[in-house]
Structure 1
Amino acid sequence: MVYLYPSMLSAERGVQAGGTGFLVGVRSEAKPQIAYCYAVTNRHVVKGDPKKNGAGKAPVIRLNTHDGGTDIIPNAHWKVAPAGDDIAVASISFEPSLKFRPVLLERFMTPDLIKELGVGWGDDLFLVGRFISHAGKQRNMPVARFGAIAMMPDEPIENDETKFQQESFLAELHTIGGFSGSPVFISLPQDRYIEHPQYNLEEERKRSHRSWLLGIEWCNASFLERNTGMSGVIPAWKIADLILNDEDFKMQRKRADEKEVEQSKKSGIKLTRAAGPSQKTRAPERDDRIDIPIPTREQFETDLGKAIRKRKD
């Protein structure tokens, strides 16, 4: 998880201000076993209130490290969705000291999956985010909140600050300030997805449930100054659209892929393959199985002649 703070000093002190974020991974086209990482949160978290000259902005990233501490990125270059969606993304470099697990794009819910899996009212959700009054001063310590889909994203919610008509799910998640930018996941039981061709695999049959990123929390709906318990969740495909189609991000990935290919050519490492065994015994234990070469006809006749030759007394 990522925590967002107004300044480097506030991040070091763990002050009760800012918002939440998370990391997304995009697989390299040159080497699919590696992924490029992006920090994701809301536009209003990193840019603040546009009506008040950016008041309340929190662009500084804090992440956990393997040694039990935190690392701070004070100057992340945030890119916002050009259409007006309340989303901000920053490319970050992976450091071995950082402790995190990004959400890969293949775990994103999509409009097609919504239809194919029959996603709708009442489906279980969980959110992982920053409980601002008990978030962890010296280390990011997120909490989980649970709920369900209350309304599908058929009608947008107006953003009070920008007046943008934001495509959103409504979710019963009972969030408060500080959870802005949190990832919201949908969890479905096995019988809902196991017949889908993409998930009808042996490894999937060992699970009882599976989760996908439904989207990112961006607001809670109030009525008469009371929190109704309803949260707005921007669909995951809006995040994917920004990451995959931003020209700067595309160029960064292209250059990084080219560099990976070039390094592989210069490494001088060649794969070595031994010829397969010509014959193998079928002993019950694998360790007892040995390779037995098949002799040529000439070798067989020579060996047979030696075997039947009479011994001299």
Structure 2
Amino acid sequence: MTDLNKIAGDRPATRYDWENQFTFDKLEFAKTPCIQYSSSGTPWMKWVPVGMPKIPKNTLDVACYLYSSREDAESGREFGGSGFFVSIPTSVPEHIHVYAVTNWHVAVQGGASVLRINRHDGGADIFDMGPEDWFFDPRFDIAVRPIALDTSLHKFSTVPMQMFASRERIEKSEIGPGDDVFMVGRFVDHDGGAVNSPSVRFGNISTRPTQVRQPNGKDAESYCIDMHSRSGYSGSPVFVYRTAGQDLTQGKNLALGTAEFLFLGIHYAQFPEMWEIGEFQKRPGAHSTVPLVTDGKYVKGLSGMTLALPAWLVEEVINMPKLKSQREAIDSHLSARGHARPQPIAEADIPEAEAAQKRDAALSRALNTAPKPRTA
């Protein structure tokens, strides 16, 4: 694996501005007026977001494509998987740590480890990485790769880690079955060819996380989601959102619900279904009692029920000791170059002479200010 400490002096972290982060405030919701009341009972008008938001353009820039070779990436071969970018703050305000995230079965087991990202000039940039360049925890179907991107060259957005749906946040907001989700990934039959053109698919959470067998043979917590998928979407980020009017537990006060928008997890598999090949004669009022799968020939298809590993497992992989030590080394490197984040100075830490000057200046201003006349 590449040692980031060796290249820290070249480009230790990614420079960014807030436009490169995908957050709730960038979603464009329709809004409806709602009467609210102050603690004293005074009514006031509040405009609350409702319905499915219009997704901003930079939503698609969260995604990247994975290929088996540079040649496949250059030609846009219809094979591979999806990935996305996650960001973590550094010790310097204008820099972030960026990670490419995908599935282990895509980048490592399947060998689709070459990453392609769009450029601002309309082309694409290719990172010719191998399976050995990706980091993973053998317990999960997740692979991550630290990557330094250039905001002047690369067209990308990141999912900030503070947007991750933690266990605590899921519990507090009661996120679960019925909540709306969408994912951003690669539709291999129409994926943009020589450049990335990600697509968006929509659905709903079907079950809370339960243990499911992954492609690596290990069981892990997984959301079951009622959302269509197919080969190529593996590694896509899944987002959950809720707006006022979508919480049925609010009864008549639907507009009082709170808005949520979080990174839910990473898509990794779909449940299959088997359809028997046979003859069928339709008869009025007849209902087939033949099970979906019987002995004999059948067609294997996808059920429309997909799986996603929760955000907290992605965070666990990104925070594995080796990657944390790399981030600490880069932060130390940035600090040594004089880019350390400024720290607040307590009043007691100001030199006595400087504090005395401030007191003298304040006293002088008070003495030179004419007193205000008193009113009866």
Provide the TM-score with structure 2 as the length reference: 0.63
Conserved 8 A contact 2:141-2:216:
no
Is the CA contact (8 Å cut-off) linking 1:190 and 1:210 kept in structure 2? no
Does 2:233 match 1:172?
no
> Is the Cα contact below 8 Å between 2:108 and 2:134 reproduced in 1?
no
2:224, 2:308 within 8 Å by CA — same for their partners in 1? yes
1:7 pairs with one of 66, 69, 77: 69
* 1:156, distance to aligned residue in structure 2 (A): 1.2
- Residue 248 of structure 1 and its aligned partner are, at CA, apart by 2.3
2:197 maps to: 141
User: How much does 1:223 deviate?
Assistant: 1.8
Task: Tell me what 2:80 maps to.
Answer: 18
1:79 deviation in Å?
0.7
Q: Which SS does the other structure have where 2:303 is aligned? A: strand
* CA distance 1:23–1:43, change in 2 (3 Å): same
Provide the residue aligned with 1:80 in structure 2: 136
Deviation string, structure 1 residues 167-226 (Cα, Å, up to 9, x no partner): 100001100110000000000115889xxxxxxxxxxxxxx8441110000001012122
State the SS of the aligned residue for 1:167.
Answer: strand
Partner of 2:213: 158
In structure 1, what is the equivalent of residue 44 of structure 2? none
**Structure 2 contact 105–216 (Cα < 8 Å) conserved:** no
| C-alpha distance in structure 1 between counterparts of 2:246 and 2:312, whole Å | 21
Name 1:57's counterpart in structure 2: 111
State the shift of 1:123 in Å: 0.2
Q: Give CA-to-partner distance per residue, 1:10-48, whole Å, 9 cap, x none.
A: 0000010000000000111x2244210000000000123
Aligned to 2:176: 120
Partner of 2:312: 237
Q: Deviations over 1:57-97 (max 9, x none)?
A: 20100001111111000126201113x21000011112231
> In 1, Cα distance between the equivalents of 2:330 and 2:194?
33
The DSSP-based 3-state class of the residue aligned with 1:181 is coil
Matched, 1:226 2:226: no
Measured after TM superposition, the shift of residue 237 of structure 1 is 0.5
1:89 aligns with 2:144: yes
Q: For the residues of structure 1 that align with 2:145 and 2:78, how far apart are their CA atoms? A: 23
SS of the residue corresponding to residue 326 of structure 2 reads helix
Deviates more, 1:64-73 or 1:255-264: 255-264
* 1:212-264 alpha-carbon deviations (Å, 9 max, x no partner): 110000001012122110000000100100111x2221122111111111122
1:45 equivalenced with 2:106 (yes/no): yes
Work out whether residues 117 and 192 of structure 1, in 8 Å CA contact, stay in contact via their aligned partners in 2. Answer: no
Q: How does 1:98-117 map to 2 (within 5 A)?
A: 98-117=154-173
Report the Cα distance in structure 2 between the residues aligned to 1:296 and 1:132, rounded to whole angstroms.
77
Secondary structure (helix, strand or coil) at the match of 1:152 reads strand
- 1:289 corresponds in structure 2 to none
Measured in 1, the distance between the counterparts of 2:75 and 2:333 equals 38
Q: Separation in 1 of the partners of 2:108 and 2:245?
A: 42
CA distance in 2, matches of 1:249, 1:7: 25
1:259 aligned partner, one-letter code: H
Matched-pair identity in %? 34
Pair member with larger Rg: 1
C-alpha separation in 2, matches of 1:93 and 1:37: 6
SS at match of 1:156: strand
Write the mapping of 1:273-288 to structure 2, written as runs, cut at 5 A: none
**Displacement, 1:294?**
5.9
Matches within 5 A, 1:259-278: 259-264=333-338
SS of equivalent to 1:264: coil
